[in-house]
């Protein structure tokens, strides 16, 4: 049993907070375990003025995760902590998702100068909304085509400062990131996920380790939350069927199973500007979240017009 683990992570305030949450869970499960943070610079951090979809030449796949994963593969670290929504759906050879801690709120928040705004209906005609997410931009374009989407990059804390300063009428951020940074007031009024569908994996952390590191995998298994892992399995299967990129204008949400242990999953696939969108809700057994997620994605692909279908697999 290892006495010391090295934790690879990005260096943003949110990434460090996420890694600290994982380390707290490990210390609670294994008192006396020595943990060391290894901060890694990613392509997404290095090129903050470039849209995520343009990084790396593959639609941004792995822009925020590839360098962190390499730290584990080359032995500089024992495990890597990611925001699951940043993790491409195709698993990197040699690594496995060893733990998924309990999911934080998966919903988005519309944040203005005076705090959270309950819905897009609370914005005036022509208001400017900041986001760097193709999914969020498509949803805004579909729900409120009169609004002006402004592309933004930057860490959560910098976007919160801009929202408070009134640089734009509103910014869209993940409730999970706000909560993990202690910004509970800003996250207090999330958007309805039935209307503003979250990204696959949003709110989840994915802890990766080398597939042959059996001792490390054993430690990490104790901090995994089965319902959260089940949800991530289904949502990542959805993403994989659509081509594996976290920059596609698509969303999916798989809540915990109901009293009858049935899964209910919703999702959408859209044109980049939201002018065309298909959405579906499907149900399935608890023991096959991957089949449910892949089936939902296939249903959306079959229903999508050619202008939307061509985006799949990029």
**pLDDT digits 0-9 by tens, 97-106:** 999 999 999 9
Catalytic pick among 70, 135, 179, 233? 135
* Domain harbouring 239, CATH code: 3.30.160.40
Instruction: Return the DSSP state at 154.
Output: S
Q: What is the pLDDT of residues 132-150, one digit of tens each?
A: 999 999 999 999 999 999 9
CA–CA separation, 124 and 170 (whole Å): 11
270 and 239, same structural domain? yes
38 and 16, same structural domain? yes
252 and 135, same structural domain? no
131 and 84, same structural domain? no
162 and 211, same structural domain? no
253 and 233, same structural domain? yes
- Minimal CA–CA distance to 83: which of 170, 22, 127, 152? 22
Both tokens assigned to 289: 């979240």
CA–CA separation, 206 and 75 (whole Å): 19
pTM above 0.85, yes or no: yes
Of 224, 253, 279, the domain-final residue:
224
208 and 67, same structural domain? yes
Catalytic pick among 153, 162, 164, 309? 153
Q: Which domain holds residue 33?
A: 4-102+204-224
Number of structural domains in the chain? 3
CA–CA separation, 152 and 170 (whole Å): 12
Q: What is the pLDDT of residues 255-278, one digit of tens each?
A: 998 888 899 999 999 999 999 999
* pLDDT for 61: 56
Is 60 contained in some domain? yes
126 and 81, same structural domain? no
Question: Is 281 a catalytic site residue?
Answer: no
Question: Is 153 a catalytic site residue?
Answer: yes
306 and 175, same structural domain? no
Catalytic pick among 6, 103, 144, 159? 159
Question: Is 85 a catalytic site residue?
Answer: yes
Is 192 contained in some domain? no
Is 197 contained in some domain? no
268 and 139, same structural domain? no
What are the beta bridge partners of residue 209? 79, 96
Catalytic pick among 6, 70, 86, 105? 86
* pLDDT for 246: 74
* pLDDT for 133: 95
CA–CA separation, 179 and 220 (whole Å): 23
**How far is the CA of 96 from the CAs of 12, 84, 218, in angstroms?**
23, 13, 12
Question: Is 288 a catalytic site residue?
Answer: no
CA–CA separation, 116 and 135 (whole Å): 20
Catalytic pick among 85, 144, 229, 241? 85
CA–CA separation, 152 and 78 (whole Å): 33
Is 154 contained in some domain? yes
CA–CA separation, 60 and 2 (whole Å): 35
Is 188 contained in some domain? no
Question: Is 136 a catalytic site residue?
Answer: yes
51 and 124, same structural domain? no
Dihedrals phi, psi of 219, to nearest 5 degrees: -65, -45
Is 130 contained in some domain? yes
* pLDDT for 154: 86
Catalytic pick among 61, 70, 136, 241? 136
Question: Is 204 a catalytic site residue?
Answer: no
Is 53 contained in some domain? yes
CA angle, residues 50, 89, 86, in degrees to nearest 5 = 40
CA–CA separation, 212 and 229 (whole Å): 20
9 and 97, same structural domain? yes
HEC secondary structure over 251-296 = EEECCCCCCCCEEEEEEEEECCCCCCEEEEEEEEECCCHHHHHHHH
* Domain harbouring 209, CATH code: 3.40.190.10
CA angle, residues 16, 22, 23, in degrees to nearest 5 = 85
Q: What is the mean pLDDT of each run of 10 residues along the chain (314 residues)?
A: 90 96 96 95 60 47 84 97 93 97 98 97 98 96 98 92 96 98 97 97 98 96 97 97 88 91 96 96 96 98 89 71
Question: Is 246 a catalytic site residue?
Answer: yes
């Amino acid at each position: 049993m290892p006495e010391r683990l090295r934790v690879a992570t990005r260096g943003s305030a949110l990434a460090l907070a996420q890694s600290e949450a994982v380390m707290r869970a490990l210390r609670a499960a294994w008192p006396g375990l020595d943990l060391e943070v290894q901060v890694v610079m990613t392509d997404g951090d290095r090129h903050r003025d470039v849209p995520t979809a343009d990084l790396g030449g593959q639609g941004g796949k792995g822009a925020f995760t590839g360098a962190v994963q390499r730290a584990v593969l080359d032995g500089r670290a024992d495990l890597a902590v990611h925001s699951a929504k940043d993790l491409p759906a195709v698993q990197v050879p040699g690594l496995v998702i060893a733990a998924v801690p309990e999911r934080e709120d998966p919903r988005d928040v519309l944040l203005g100068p005076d705090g959270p705004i309950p819905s897009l209906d609370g914005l005036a005609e022509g208001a400017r909304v900041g986001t760097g997410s193709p999914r969020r931009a498509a949803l805004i374009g579909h729900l409120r085509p009169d609004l002006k989407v402004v592309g933004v990059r930057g860490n959560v804390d910098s976007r919160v400062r801009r929202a408070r300063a009134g640089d734009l009428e509103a910014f869209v951020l993940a409730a999970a990131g706000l909560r993990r940074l202690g910004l509970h007031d800003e996250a207090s009024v999330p958007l309805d996920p039935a209307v503003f569908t979250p990204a696959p994996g949003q709110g989840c952390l994915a802890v990766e380790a080398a597939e042959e590191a059996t001792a490390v995998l054993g430690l990490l298994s104790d901090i995994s939350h089965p319902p959260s892992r089940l949800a991530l399995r289904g949502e990542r299967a959805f993403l994989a069927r659509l081509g594996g990129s976290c920059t596609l204008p698509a969303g999916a949400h798989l809540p915990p199973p109901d009293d009858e242990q049935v899964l209910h999953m919703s999702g959408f696939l859209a044109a980049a500007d939201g002018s065309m969108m298909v959405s579906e809700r499907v149900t399935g057994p608890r023991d096959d979240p991957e089949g449910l997620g892949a089936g939902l994605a296939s249903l959306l692909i079959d229903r999508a017009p050619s202008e939307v279908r061509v985006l799949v697999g990029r």
